Chain A
């Protein structure tokens, strides 16, 4: 079924992306030197700290930051087109059409003044020029596919008449209406119960197989990542701290932050009388990210690193294979994998 995709250069390439906001208190470095590639038909999972720059990264790829308050530098190349300095007109013809976004906040994407069905149909008409009735039929079809019961009737509801998870699914339907080539899904299933979540993930998988879609899946649900992403990128304080094949990263983490994340996850069979195990300390202020390794104030493995590298030198992320931005030598790293496997 799927046409054999020509595995040439990356479909999406992000290089040294930096996003800064000017605020009253100083400059917030929300994204600080992020690089990754994504091929067609592949899913990249992005996980990480709340506030680590995941959503800001996706808005930068779509060119959606307010340019008067935001500085965006670096390169974002989508299928040969440079996006960072693309004109608003170029971006508009890509957005919602070849590149679609599922926003973390459904209310960013949905207007309170129009019915759900009308908004989805309008997106479709704008990019395809389809007739009103064809667009309406398409909208109803998609609402059905994301599991909205009686979609023909519910298409006439306004967003406030939908539950949280229904709004999220309406937005997913809207993002899929033009069969995008690149889909950025920012926490697409946070408001969904697990059975509906599984159904939505199946739907994204179908889309990917049918149209060879590249997907960036931002989520904090490591179970979802394990089930859908080919590769994972772990972010901390605006930077990538670990990147590699999903199974590698989740079963043999190489960065102490990733290991901490995996240990925080409550399991269906864990001991409920034991408190959960968060990473100690608190997230860094992006106004003054710690020098050296940004994770060092919270890291339990610093003593294993000879000298004061953790505090003075910023560890780099190698660009190929399974890599971690951490000064730990190979041997103690094995300890990480074992620690997290303990029940």
Chain B
């Protein structure tokens, strides 16, 4: 296959993951949770794509599909140009070392019976990288990198706080110096100072080692800080994708606007226990389910700007004219209305 050096490291096209639903008493298949339902994006080497969106919209599932911990029910996952969507365990082995995952749930992703040293060293041990004592030294170095003490080496996961466990997962993901890290809420369990430290660290390894990131997070300020481009997901689909400055400076999709309006900031609170009344756009209306998404635009049941066409026609993800031209939106009204005379 001809190699373009501009070809993205990762390219996802028409990605689907439907989970079958068991039906009541009979275990017959009655439908499916359409967790990921037609997603396209790409990530270049050494760059980061932020992925944000409503809880349950399919972000973790997307991440797991990219890391091939799940097999898609449709679409392609091209890594270095090769479709790994249905690759076998053996075919995946070399790719596994290059794509690492930091898990959203630091509790269930760490084996409770292994010490921290064993957990972080596992990827090195499996590949027999260096001597045992070199590996131990490397693990200690990794622990220090993520701000843990060397004394933690022989402890078990239950002896750690939530944030400490998250850092164990980060150390493990960095062990093999991967090419792509799928980071699923990597810093949401951390206090803001350690969060800042880890974000700086991830940015540094990105620069030094050229690691690309799929960075899933709900903290929009962190995503803005970390990601070159940002995708916004809603109910299994991407509704907006743009360069960071575009997305935050000129959001076009009503869901993105609602998200940005709801970010709480520390110095804006009223301090009397009342939520800040700022211009938060409250989403009302029915929360749709991925089992049975609404017709037309999936956001229409809660969209403040929905019109008749939204119920009948699904808006495709299309470029909108902007300063940089790197802005895709799936909304019938993404372009500003011509100024009324």
Contacts and interface: CB of A to CB of B under 8 A. Distances in A.
Instruction: Tell me whether A and B are bound partners.
Output: yes
Interface string A223-239: 11111111000000000
A266 B224 contact: yes
Contacts of B53: 193
A245 interface: yes
| Residue in B162, B224, B280 with the greatest tally of chain A CB atoms within 10 Å | B162
Interface stretch (B175-183, B285-293, B317-325): B285-293
Contacts of B163: 50-51, 220
B60 A164 contact: yes
Contacts of B224: 266, 268, 272
Contacts of B160: 51
A4 to B, nearest CB: 17
Contacts of A164: 55, 60, 104-105, 185
A193 B269 contact: no
Nearest to A164: B104
A196 interface: yes
Interface stretch (A87-95, A145-153, A175-183): A145-153
Nearest to B194: A50
A304 to B, nearest CB: 21
A250 B271 contact: yes
Interface string A269-294: 01010011111001101010000000
B159 interface: yes
Contact of B164 (A42, A51, A208): A51
B162 A149 contact: no
B75 to A, nearest CB: 20
Interface string B273-297: 1111000101100111101100000
B135 interface: no
Given A161-B19, A225-B269, A105 B162 contact: yes
Given A250-B266, A264-B196, A205 B225 contact: no
A338 to B, nearest CB: 13
Interface in B147-193: 147, 149, 151, 154-155, 159-164, 185, 188-193
Given A245-B271, A268-B221, A221 B151 contact: no
A201 interface: yes
A245 B219 CA distance: 25
> Binding site of B, secondary structure by majority: helix, strand, loop or mixed?
loop
B225 A221 contact: no
B55 A205 contact: no
B215 to A, nearest CB: 13
Contact of B188 (A191, A222, A226): A191
A43 B289 contact: no
A264 to B, nearest CB: 4
B185 to A, nearest CB: 7
B218 A192 contact: yes
B203 interface: yes
B145 to A, nearest CB: 11
A261 B194 CA distance: 9
A243 to B, nearest CB: 14
Contacts of B274: 205, 227
Interface residues of B, number: 75
A266 B221 contact: yes
Nearest to A196: B55
Contacts, number: 224
A187 B162 contact: yes
Given A194-B264, A272-B224, A278-B200, A287 B60 contact: no
Nearest to A248: B271
B262 A247 contact: no
B162 A278 contact: no
Given A150-B291, A164-B185, A276 B164 contact: no
A287 B152 CA distance: 11
Given A43-B273, A230-B272, A272-B225, A225 B54 contact: no
A264 B192 contact: yes
Contacts of A49: 191, 193-194
B107 A195 contact: no
Interface string A24-52: 11001000000000000011000111111
A119 interface: no
Contacts of B208: none
B197 A153 contact: no
B253 interface: no
Nearest to B188: A190
Given A191-B188, A223-B266, A265-B192, A149 B287 contact: yes
Contacts of A228: 273, 275
A197 interface: yes
Interface string A127-167: 00000000000000000000111100110100001111110
A59 to B, nearest CB: 12
A278 B195 CA distance: 8
Contacts of B275: 198, 201-202, 205, 227-228
28 contacts: A42-B273, A47-B191, A50-B162, A105-B107, A107-B107, A147-B287, A150-B291, A161-B33, A166-B56, A191-B104, A193-B259, A195-B259, A198-B262, A198-B280, A223-B266, A226-B267, A227-B269, A227-B270, A228-B273, A245-B271, A264-B192, A265-B221, A275-B200, A276-B196, A276-B200, A278-B193, A282-B147, A287-B151
A-B pairs with the 3 shortest C-beta distances? A226-B269, A50-B163, A247-B271
Given A162-B56, A226-B276, 19 more contacts: A21-B159, A25-B151, A48-B191, A104-B162, A154-B289, A161-B19, A166-B56, A190-B185, A205-B275, A223-B265, A226-B267, A230-B271, A250-B269, A260-B193, A265-B192, A266-B222, A266-B225, A268-B248, A278-B197
Interface of B: 19, 24, 33, 52-56, 60-61, 104-105, 107-108, 147, 149, 151, 154-155, 159-164, 185, 188-197, 199-200, 203, 218-222, 224-225, 244, 248, 258-260, 262-276, 280, 282-283, 286-289, 291-292
